Every structure is written in structure tokens, then in C-alpha cells.
Copies of this chain bind each other. A is one copy, B any other.
Amino acid sequence: MPGAERDIEGSAAFFEVAARQRACREYTDEPVDDPTVRRLLEAATRAPSAENTQPWVFVVVRDPQRRAAIGELTRRAWTQGARQFSEGRLTPDLLADVEVGALGGIAAAPVLVVVAGDTRLALEVVLGASIYPAVQNLLLGATALGLGSALTTLPTVAGRELADLVGLPPEVKALAVVPLGWPARRLGPSRRAPVADKAHAEVFGVPFTGGEA
């Protein structure tokens, strides 16, 4: 098994961090300092992007009023459509958790990172492929340090209003808001369907078992 033979130092730690990641929607008011945020953003900027254009834009928001305003956009997107869409789709537990986040939990995080994509650097069609890998690095870095985080897109529903709150030029599109802070309570494990339900061998419909019976 070549993979195992070449297992390099620290590889197990990566898989452990990936397995531990999950969304946090309630935070303490304990601060997250600038060097920590910077370290996470450095990890984010190691992600790949189309043509290595690095079209990512990060706006680090700490100001309480600005965070509250972003929180209000989140609350509005939730109460004016998203909740109705999610009811009946989500389990009651997950619905309650998302609601806590949307109604103020996310905005209470001491840091909100607005993540955007610069269409002057990359075509809009490849913006998702060029921004969300960086977002994932940010989330994994937070997880590695024991910080809570989440990938939220609700506040981007009001795209222009969110853009105005952090002064984005028209060519820069907000794609996500990532709260960073210390979890208010212990986070349980994430719930995921097994790989066999999601992976196929050669053609769709033939389960990829990965060597398992």
C-alpha cells in the first residue's frame, strides 16, 4: 500500500483535524487576536485557484456595530425565506441549531471574516472553485486551533447590502461569512453519510467500496 508506506510525519494529524471539523453557531465573547486571524488567513491563501489568480478578498470585521449589521442581514435572510425552505428538510436538532446561529449566534462571534472574490482577477464562472478551497483552509485552521467557525452564505443573499457594509467595490462579490471565536459549548461530532453512499467506481451507480467488503 504505497499510501501507507509513504505516510509522512503529521499526515494523521491532518486527517484528525478534517474529521473534527464542524459548524459552530454559539460563541463566547472571549477575543481572538490578530496574529491568530493572520495565521488562519495565511493558511487560506495557500489554497489553489484558477490560473493561480488568487482572487480571494478577506475583510476582517471586529466592530460590534458592523457585526450586528451583518447579523441583521443573516437574520433577515433566515426569517424571510431560508427558514421556510429549511423546515421539513432539516432534522429538528439541526434546524434549531441553524436558527440559533441565524438569529444572533453567528454575529456574536468576536470576528467575522467576509470572504469575497475579485472578478477583475478571475472569471465569475470559476470564482467558486477559486474561493471555497481557501475558505475551507480557514475553517480547518480554526479547527486545528480549537476555534469555532462555520461556512455561512445566508448574509450574502443581500449581496449589495453586505458589500456596502464592508466597502466592497462592485467587481468584488461576497461569497461567504466565516465567524471565528471560542465555542460556547462542546461541539459534538458531525453527521455524514458513509463514503460508499457518495463514491462510485468508474460510472455513477456502481458503489466504490475502497477495498472493503
Contacts and interface: CB of A to CB of B under 8 A. Distances in A.
B50 A1 contact: no
Interface in A47-70: 47-48, 50-52, 54, 56-63, 66
26 contacts: A1-B33, A2-B182, A4-B36, A14-B144, A18-B47, A18-B141, A38-B209, A38-B211, A38-B212, A39-B210, A41-B199, A41-B210, A45-B195, A46-B192, A52-B94, A57-B204, A59-B199, A63-B202, A127-B128, A129-B132, A132-B133, A132-B136, A133-B133, A133-B151, A137-B140, A166-B204
Interface of A: 1-4, 6-19, 21-23, 30-39, 41-43, 45-48, 50-52, 54, 56-63, 66, 86, 89-90, 94, 98, 126-129, 131-133, 135-137, 139-141, 144-147, 150-151, 153, 166-169, 172, 175-176, 182, 190-195, 198-205, 208-212
Q: How many identical chains are in the complex? A: 2
Q: Give chain A's interface secondary structure class.
A: mixed
Contacts of A166: 200, 202-204
Given A3-B36, A11-B146, 7 more contacts: A38-B195, A48-B139, A58-B198, A60-B199, A126-B153, A132-B136, A167-B205
A39 B15 contact: yes
A193 B39 CA distance: 14
Contacts of A56: 198
